[in-house]
Amino acid sequence: MTQHDVARRTLITGASLAGIAVAAGAWGSHGLRTVLTADMLAVFETAVRYQMYHAFALLITGILALSAAGNGARRLHYASLAFLAGIILFSGSLYLLALTDTRWLGAVTPAGGACFLAGWTLLARGCLNLHDSGGK
């Protein structure tokens, strides 16, 4: 898979996850307001908010990856994977917690937060090497 393909997939994934976040937010606001407790609705809204933040992060990473090379491109690719893992683990565990009230899922959430932190670190490191053509 070429670097352009990776960037394209990252952009498609980011745009798709942003759209899903909008739909989930609307569902939470209109469909779940009478079903969930106020506490669980707040948990659901946190999941939506962090999904949207990191969908934007995927879009930014994908745009930057279009012109990156070498170590910069590699770090941006790993950043996108970390953001995706964070969305799945952090937002996914919070969605499930809110909808099922399965408390042990809260133990998964910090792993997603760690993925988000790794993603932002890798994004910053990738930006340091945007014009790197393969050196260290």
31 lies in some domain: yes
Residue 135 lies inside a defined structural domain of this protein? no
Q: In angstroms, rounded to a whole number, what is the distance separating the alpha carbons of residues 54 and 135?
A: 29
136, part of any domain: no
For the stretch 80-99, what's the b/e string if a residue is b when 16 or more beta carbons lie within 10 angstroms of its beta carbon? bbbbbbbbbbbbbbbbbbbb
- H or E segment and range at residue 20: helix 3-26
Please state the domain count of the chain. 1
Residue 57 lies in a domain: yes
Rounded Cα gap, residues 64 and 55, in angstroms: 14
On whether residue 65 sits in a domain, the answer given is: yes
| Residues spanned by the domain of 51 | 3-128
pTM: predicted TM-score of the whole model, two decimal places: 0.93
133 lies in some domain: no
List pLDDT tens digits, range 49-63.
999 999 999 999 999
Local confidence band at 68 (pLDDT 50, 70, 90 cut-offs): confident
Q: Tell me if 34 is assigned to some domain.
A: yes
* pLDDT one-digit tens code per residue, 93-120: 999 999 999 999 889 999 999 999 999 9
Amino acid at 113: G
